[in-house]
Chain A
Amino acid sequence: MLIQFSKLIPSPLFETDYSTSDVWGRDFSVSGTDKVLISAPSGKGKTTLLNIIIGRRTDYVGTVMIDGQNPLYFSAKERSVLLSRKISVVHQGLSLFDELSLEQNIQLKNRITSFKSHSEIDKMLVRLGLEQQRRQKVKTLSYGQKQRLAIIRALCQPFGFILLDEPFSHLDDYNAVAAWQLITEEVAAHGAGVILTSLGNNHQIPFDTIYNL
């Protein structure tokens, strides 16, 4: 999968100085198995960038092309295909369903594509230490548990790129490493790429490219 960025400037940044940014107003692309870190302090538009890629934000100038197609002009159906089969996202807000159990949250994703078997999901839960919380309602989980759940859920679909928006912000090093290992295994299996945003590279992850926003 090829994602091309061309002179993107989101509307909140029109009036600010973005000349030092590696991303805003630049031409660059990510493709194939690239592992990319978007690093910036908060308020520089990390979440905005990810939302522009999936067509959720439209208030910008410049263009994004996903395999030659502009997500701005995706139909509702094309967007649902994009989000369920081509690009997987762990949102910063996690987008979990509080009233459903941990297991139901995963199933809600997995039933769209029937991508993972029960045993595969079980293995992932064990690896991230969530097997005890399977039937617990999400609203009773800690934020760190929720982050791990959101990561597992994001892996329950085929993708060419996985977008992770500060996925380890509430994880200890042990869990962050375990989660990253799980992610890289899946990414390798798909032959996919990673775009991860973070306040900084705190977890000693080997990225191919680091962009500073």
Chain B
Amino acid sequence: MIWKVFKAEISIWQLAAAFIGAFFGLVIMLVAAGFYFDVKSVFSDNEGFWKEEYIIISKRITSDETLQQIDNQKRDKPSFSKTEIDELTKQKFVKDVTPFTNCSFGVAAFTDKDSPLAGFYTDLFFEAVPAAYIDVNYHNWAWKEGDTFIPVILPKTYLNLYNFGFATSQNLPQVSEKSASLVKFNVVVHGKGKRQKFEARIVGFSDRINTLLVPQEFIEWGNGKYGSDTLPEPSRLIVVASDPSDAGMFRFFEEKNYDVNKSELSNSKALMFLRIIITLVVGIGLIITGLAFWLLITSVMLLLQKNKENIIKLGLLGYNNQTIAMPYLVLVLVLVLVINLLAFVPLIFIRNFYMSKILILGYEASAAYNTAVPLTALAMMVVLLLVCFANIWLRINSFLR
């Protein structure tokens, strides 16, 4: 009956506009929040495309440097001192820093006379990094004193250079990763007037690390036995970035004149832009939702204002404030509930749309989504209801004072 009194003043278009506004605001907000949770799982996925970034940095070599080194004015090569490494470790975007271990002894490789590559001889160098940083899955990446076999990892770019540059132009056979791994060759290490021969084999090709890798134990042993007495400072470092999208990281490297393989950072940059875009969308979503909710509250307040006379008359009849407020509370409750439920329809469609693209990249749907998004919706619903209820209650009380 009270509802009949108020109904006459309801403007369907006004309420519909508020309803649609709040509906779209909520959808945008939930899509943005949901997208954030879905993409966040991609951010934190160590195995995937957005894995923790391994960045290899070195000092930039200038022409002056080159000339000085040619003239023997300067015998030290640019390398990272301990203080520089410590400073880098302290940066907030850095999770870990590991130096490459250089070898200070001579290395030569050659093949046996009966090898398919007979007559091959070259001087070489080796470097080492801790096994944890190596992206080649080899079961026995280790060496201990007394072993005559050394496993070697080459950069994949070397194989490509050979296969698609050298082999093609010189009419040589191309080599697969697997067949390259079958070739055994000899390695001679020398220094301090001594030499020792080892057997070696390529056990894999690395995408990540652009050097000739052997187990760290071997280099440490060799440096002790054949190398110079002072260990060279590392010329290259592996930096594990805790947040590859941190813009501060690029700035730091640039300021320090460190050289970074640009392509290694492309993921980082993509991540950074993605983060900016998500922040923007969430921000805009918040603004639209805020405005839409404000419109809804204003519409209800307008309805109250239009019914001011009726509310006062009901008060004079002896209706209590709760009974008078009830139709408005129910109206708002129904509106907000329907808006919330309906918002999940486009939400599910939109998520299916973008997840179909993300899933192609090999990611699983975020488990957090299923709790986080309904919780977000619930939180917004509760806030909206509380604000509306408080406004209605205060307004009706002010009318009836």
Question: Which residues on A are within 8 Å of B, measured CB to CB?
Answer: 54, 56, 76-77, 79-85, 89, 91, 95-97, 99-100, 104, 107-109, 111-113, 157
Which residues from chain A contact B400 at a C-beta distance below 8 Å? 76, 79
Which residues from chain A contact B321 at a C-beta distance below 8 Å? 76-77, 80
Contact B1 A108, beta carbon cutoff 8 Å: yes
In addition to A99-B8, A157-B318, 13 A-B residue pairs with Cβ atoms within 8 Å of each other are: A54-B316, A76-B321, A77-B321, A79-B400, A80-B319, A80-B321, A83-B317, A84-B318, A84-B319, A99-B4, A109-B318, A112-B318, A112-B319
Bound: A100/B317 CA distance, A: 15
Bound: A157/B316 CA distance, A: 13
Which residues from chain B contact A95 at a C-beta distance below 8 Å? 313, 316-317
Picked from A56, A83, A97, A100, the residue with its CB within 8 Å of the CB of B318 is A83
Judge whether B257 is part of the interface by a CB distance below 8 angstroms: no
- Min distance, Cβ A46 to any Cβ of chain B, angstroms: 17
Instruction: Give the secondary structure class of B's interface.
Output: helix
Judge whether B211 is part of the interface by a CB distance below 8 angstroms: no
Interface size on B, residues (CB 8 A): 17
Picked from B5, B315, B320, B397, the residue with its CB within 8 Å of the CB of A97 is B5
Judge whether B298 is part of the interface by a CB distance below 8 angstroms: no
Which residues from chain A contact B376 at a C-beta distance below 8 Å? none
- Min distance, Cβ B99 to any Cβ of chain A, angstroms: 77
Bound: A80/B397 CA distance, A: 12
For A86, give the chain B residue with the smallest CB separation: B318
Contact B1 A104, beta carbon cutoff 8 Å: yes
Q: In chain B between 330 and 378, which residues have their CB closer than 8 angstroms to a CB of chain A?
A: none
- Known contacts A76-B397, A76-B400: A109-B317 contact under CB 8 Å: yes
A-B residue pairs in contact (CB < 8 Å), sample of 18? A54-B316, A56-B316, A76-B320, A76-B400, A79-B315, A80-B315, A95-B316, A99-B5, A100-B4, A100-B5, A104-B1, A107-B1, A108-B1, A108-B2, A108-B314, A109-B318, A112-B318, A113-B318
- Min distance, Cβ B307 to any Cβ of chain A, angstroms: 11
